[in-house]
Amino acid sequence: MTNSLVTLWQLPLDDLPPPEFYEALRRCVDREQIPTIDRLAQILWQRGWRDLEQLPGQLNPDDYSPTPPSAFGIEMDRAIARLCLARDRGEYVAIWGDFDADGITATSVLWDGLGQFFPRPDRLCYTIPDRLTDSHGLNRHGLERLSAAGVSLVVTCDTGSTNLAEIAAATDLGLDIIVTDHHTLPDDRPNVVAIVNPRYFDRDHPLYHLSGVAVAYKLVEALYTALPEIPAEPLDRLLDLVAIGLIADLVELRGDCRYLAQIGIAQLQQQNDPQTATRPGVAKLLDLCKRSGDRPTDISFGLGPRINAVSRIYGDASFCVELLTSRDRQRCNELALQTENANTRRKALQRNVLERVKARLASIDLSTTRAIILEDPGWAGGVLGLTAGQIAQEYGRPTILLSRDRDDPDLDPATVFARGSARSAGGIDLYQLVKSQASLLDRFGGHPFAAGLSLPLANLPLFQAAIERQLALQLGDRVRLPEIIEADLMVTVPELGRELFRELKVIEPCGMGNPAPRLLIRRCWFENVKNKNIKDLSGKAVRYIKTHFEIWDEYSDETNVSGFPGVWWGHYQDELPNGKCDAIVELDFNPHSQNYEVRLLAVRPWQDAIAPSQSAAATTTPTLNAIKLLDWRDPSQPWETNDSRLPNPNAIPQLTHCPTRWDELRARLRRLQLRHPNATHLALAYTLPDAPNPDRLWRDLVGIAKYLCNHNQSIDHVHLRYRLDLSGFALDQGLQALEMHGFSVIRRDNDLRFAFADRQTENPVTVSEQAQALEQFHTAIAEQQFHRQYFTSVSLADIQASLQGGTRNVLDERTRTLQN
């Protein structure tokens, strides 16, 4: 039996899409915003997005045909018929929700949606269990309370599928139940009026992956269809709540899930603008977490954790429904501040429990342990799921962390219950694993990746032994499965930034089944490394750390690009290795600093092997001298495809951007080679671009400078070059011309800021000096075009000789003369 955790870094396959895929993708993407799609096409192709007919609908929600709620068939029909009957009779209806972000948003969708048909609060109410005392799902005392209040119909959301005993109790109380849920189904259909659950569909059905909030939305959509004359507000006003719950719940964003997330994020973005905001609570949360609402990460790292934190800290999360649905701005601001403080406390509490769990693990022999199952009366139950996820990932084992409901040594263990959360690792189906020991449990629920459970404390030793035996049958001699870290794309540091960010943003919304692109940077290193503790609203430091750094590689030096900023959450600076490394990162935009940055996911010393499954060529990139260059610059000439030794032309990496300098050509070829380490040939496939219009470029440069001045924002020097398609020398001439025309240009490393200069100076700039500066900018643009003409006509032999360190040529001499 082995205890060593093997971590496999899997590189992307060197599998290039065919030309027709590029053509189809280009038709789906705005050329002005995203001029290049090579890396986007490579990732989509590798992820299996190969159906050219479905591609437009996957990328653009306007081209997608959503599935109607009638697809749920007779169960939806029964639910709508019962709701219509309740409305006609004037019955009192209760929404039974859940306390996580999916359950809270699902409750809010039903509260706002059903509220169009049932007067609030006279004929409609909601209840949410207390995380710290009730756990998930229906419970008898809550049902008794609703029955006593006169409720006759209960509509669940994000819960209820497996609460068979509680459903039987509801029947005894005279309550009808409509279940809307997405969790795993019981073997037999529960005795309810209707159960609307996408788990009845096949896995490839477009509705299969709906979360609780999306199922609730489908119920409201069906009611809008059945009674179209009743609602006073449009259905799509609920979509921002749907997006929050979908993304926060980590469901696979495929089919209708992806569609709802796309249109929901567009709706959520409106909450960031005071002119279009309709939910002051959501707007305030976005403000507190310094997010704009236009990206899924604004939910997964901003709104979602804050909503979840309320029940983790307070237990009762009912006020979150008011926060998300109320129009009272002052009240919403108060609730948002409570939510923010809960999230800050959650981070500190989570860190504390994590340290205590690790201290326990340090005294346990893990060499024979396939599952980590620990209980401690002092652990805060609200953060056990988050902590279990961290432990499962770090230790590579399914993890179950429990805390008892009463801590009294004099009590009979049979009367004390341990309650907590479980998280999976290594692809283990956690729901089935826990379900296999249902006879030892009081209650449980969840899905393959996460579960909640409670059991008599006296049963815990039996439960631990049974889970260990069950895993032994699955894993054999291994105590844990290898951890696999996949990279989608190999890039260099100079490629990081706005251009790549915009290209990869087309893949969003990202989540389960469509993760954010993971970028591999080879032979990099870290500088300016420092730790920071986060702070709460009062400025007080919280014990939850992150490490800031700059990441560099050899191409940073070649292209005179400074290091790129990044952050490593939950890690200290001394955990970063010294010397050259390989790193896997995600490219992100920080709305607080208004800068692009990377989020470090994994790092290892450079000399380590990347992935045993890859060939030796995948870990050793040949020099440019060893690469055969093909000349495809003239589209009127046939490509060199008559050589039987050549690979398939579609598989040959192509340089499509015309360079302006020899060092730029070398850097671009080297980056292309790095992205395709197995390539034996590279093709020069660029053509001469149209001559730029100097007047238009000047207007664009002035417009950008004014915008950045007015919004107090900065821009990266390299990003500005890419945006205007200017050489470094031409851009520098343009910046000097700006300084002659009333702007101050503040340079800090590779960062540019602009300000309106004070014109009351002793030596004002003359009109002649302004004209001269502008003429130099025009000359530099013309020189840039001359350089491009040169690189479209220079012989392949001269290019090969230059790459091998050959003699300088007339272009170098002309460049030096111009710059002098």
pLDDT means per 10 residues, the chain with 820 residues, are 56 76 90 84 90 93 96 97 97 96 97 96 95 88 96 96 94 97 90 96 94 97 97 96 93 93 95 92 94 91 95 94 96 96 91 93 88 93 91 90 75 79 88 90 83 91 93 82 82 89 92 89 89 63 75 72 84 86 92 85 73 40 69 72 55 82 79 72 86 90 87 75 81 91 80 76 77 91 90 87 60 48
Per the CB < 8 A criterion, the answer to whether 208 and 201 are in contact is yes
Cα four-point dihedral sign 155, 156, 162, 165:
negative
Q: Which of 320, 302, 200, 202 is nearest to 247 (CA)?
A: 302
Q: Cα dihedral sign for 378, 382, 388, 393?
A: negative
- pTM score > 0.85 for this model? no
Instruction: Convert 336-356 to b/e letters by CB count within 10 Å (16 or more is b).
Output: beebbbbbbbbbbbbbbbbee
pLDDT (0 to 100) of residue 624: 62
Q: Whole-angstrom Cα distance, residue 514 to residue 242? A: 18
Q: Which of 491, 402, 396 is nearest to 452 (CA)?
A: 402
Backbone φ and ψ for 157, nearest 5 degrees, come out as -145, 130
CA–CA distance, 646 with 642 (Å, rounded to integer): 8
What is the three-class DSSP state of 460? helix
Q: How many CB atoms lie within 10 A of CB 765?
A: 15
Q: What SS3 class is residue 344?
A: helix
Helix, coil or strand: residue 538: coil
One-letter amino acid identity for 374? L
Backbone angles phi, psi at 363, to 5 degrees: -100, 10
Largest Cα–Cα separation, the chain: 94
Enter the DSSP assignment of 712.
T
For residue 432, count other CB atoms closer than 10 A to its CB: 12
Residue 319, CA atoms < 13 Å, CB-side half-sphere: 18
Upper half-sphere CA count for residue 377 (Cβ side, 13 Å): 9
DSSP state of 682: E
Question: First-to-last CA distance in the chain?
Answer: 70
534-547: b (≥16 Cβ within 10 Å) or e? eeeeeeeebebbbb
Beta bridge partners of 629: 682
The helix or strand, by DSSP H or E, that contains position 530, with its residue range, turns out to be strand 519-535
Distance CA 720, CA 714 (A): 10
Chain mean position to CA 820: 48
Neighbour count for residue 31 (Cβ, 10 Å): 10
Helices (H), 230-289: 239-248, 256-269, 280-288
Q: Which of 363, 93, 107, 44 is nearest to 244 (CA)?
A: 107
Nearest to 624 by CA among 752, 772, 450, 801: 801
* 155, 110 contact by CB (below 8 A): yes
Residue 511 pairs in a beta bridge with 514
Quote the pLDDT of residue 670. Answer: 75
CB contact at 8 A, 10 and 611? yes
The burial of 571, by beta-carbon neighbours within 10 Å (0-12 exposed, 13-18 middle, 19 or more buried), is given as middle
DSSP SS3 for 381: helix
Nearest to 339 by CA among 365, 316, 375, 310: 310
Of 488, 497, 385, 364, nearest in space to 430 by CA? 385
Q: How far apart are CA 629 and CA 796, in angstroms?
A: 8
In whole angstroms, give the CA distance from residue 818 to residue 711: 35
Q: Which residue is associated with the tokens 């237990």?
A: 315
CA 380 to CA 231: how far, in whole Å? 43
Please answer whether residues 485 and 584 qualify as being in contact, where contact means their C-beta atoms are separated by less than 8 angstroms: yes
Bridge partner residues of 175 (DSSP): none
Buried b / exposed e along 407-422 (16+ C-beta atoms within 10 A): eeeeeeeeebbbbbbb
Cα atoms in the 13 Å half-sphere on the side-chain side of 62: 2
Q: What stretches of 377-416 adopt beta strand conformation (E)?
A: 399-404
Q: What is the pLDDT of residue 541?
A: 56
- Residue 398's SS3 state is coil
Nearest partner of 530 among 546, 551, 517, 519, judged by Cα: 546
Instruction: Give all strands (DSSP E) within 65-219, no chain letters.
Output: 92-96, 124-127, 151-157, 176-180, 194-196
Query: Which H or E element spans position 297?
Result: helix 297-298
Joined tokens for residue 46 = 């590798």
**CA angle 601–605–611, rounded 5-degree value:** 75
Rounded Cα distance between 442 and 221, Å, is 36
- Count, residues in the chain: 820
Residue 649 has a pLDDT of 62
pLDDT score at 2:
38
**Element (DSSP H or E) covering residue 714:** strand 714-716
